[in-house]
Copies of this chain bind each other. A is one copy, B any other.
Amino acid sequence: MKTIDFWYSIGSTYSYLTVMRLNDYEQQSGVTFNWCPFDVRAVMIEQKNIPFANKPEKSAYMWRDIERRAAKYGLPVTLPAPYPLQELVLANQVALLGHREGWGKTYTIESYRQWFVDGLPAGSEPNLSQALSRAGQQPQRVLEIARSAEIEEALVQQTIECRDLGVFGAPAFVVDGEVFWGDDRLDDAVSWRKYGVVR
């Protein structure tokens, strides 16, 4: 099976475009994606990579670009979405647990949908409990485990792992050690997976 590691972080705005179209894209491309949440904020702070804070021109462009591209993909958006997220770490701890237990994709997609369409910040209530319920999970059980030292440490380790692979932002796709950064590099990553070159 041809697979690509899809590194994302709930809290990353451009990841919305990938999260919401990846299931359809996967079927069309014939490539399987392995969803890997990480703490993008930790990596970016460590690398002094602060692309939007105190940059109003670039931030305004980001929302407009996302709006145009969402329309291209047929995705609904209500912009600007609440940003930055207050509970980025918890949102991704839940996602990590979800992928272990098999409901991570649905939770992630529902978190983003509420964040980008309904204006409810991911990782906070009521987004968190609603996304979990829609993924068939009991919020209280999940939150207790997601906040445990084990899951906290697992997210830290997963974050170190992707940083060491060269991932510095989200979303990113990793194929045989090649890093492709940005929703707009999804086609490049798939081309690399299939042909070993960007076509």
Interface residues in chain A, defined as those with a beta carbon under 8 Å from any beta carbon in chain B: 47-49, 51, 54-55, 57-58, 60-61, 64-65, 68-69, 71-72, 166, 168-169, 178-181, 184-185, 188, 192, 197-199
Asked if A57 contacts B47 (CB within 8 A), the reply is: yes
Since A64-B178, A65-B180, A65-B181 are in contact, a sample of 16 more A-B pairs with Cβ atoms closer than 8 Å, ordered by chain A residue number, is A47-B55, A48-B55, A49-B57, A49-B58, A58-B168, A61-B166, A61-B179, A65-B185, A68-B198, A69-B188, A71-B197, A71-B198, A72-B188, A72-B197, A72-B198, A72-B199
- Which residues of chain B have C-beta atoms less than 8 A from A58's C-beta? 47, 49, 168-169
User: A181-B65, A184-B184 are contacts. A57–B166 as well, Cβ < 8 Å?
Assistant: yes
What 3 A-B pairs have minimum CB-CB distances, sorted nearest first? A72-B198, A68-B198, A57-B168
Q: How often does this chain occur in the complex, in copies?
A: 2
Alpha-carbon gap, A49 to B185, bound state (A): 22
| A60 and B166 form a contact (CB under 8 A) | yes
Q: Give bound CA distance, A69 to B166, whole Å.
A: 18
Instruction: List 18 A–B pairs whose Cβ atoms lie within 8 Å, in order of A's numbering.
Output: A47-B55, A48-B54, A49-B55, A49-B58, A51-B51, A57-B166, A57-B168, A58-B169, A60-B166, A61-B166, A61-B179, A61-B181, A65-B180, A68-B188, A68-B192, A69-B198, A71-B197, A72-B197
A179 CA / B198 CA spacing, docked (Å): 26
The distance in angstroms between the C-alpha atoms of A115 and B111, with both chains bound, is 46
Max chain B CB contacts within 10 Å: which of A54, A65, A178?
A65
Q: Which residues of B contact A184 (CB under 8 A)?
A: 184
Complex CA distance for A4 and B64, rounded to whole angstroms: 18
| Closest residue on chain B to residue A172 by CB atoms | B61
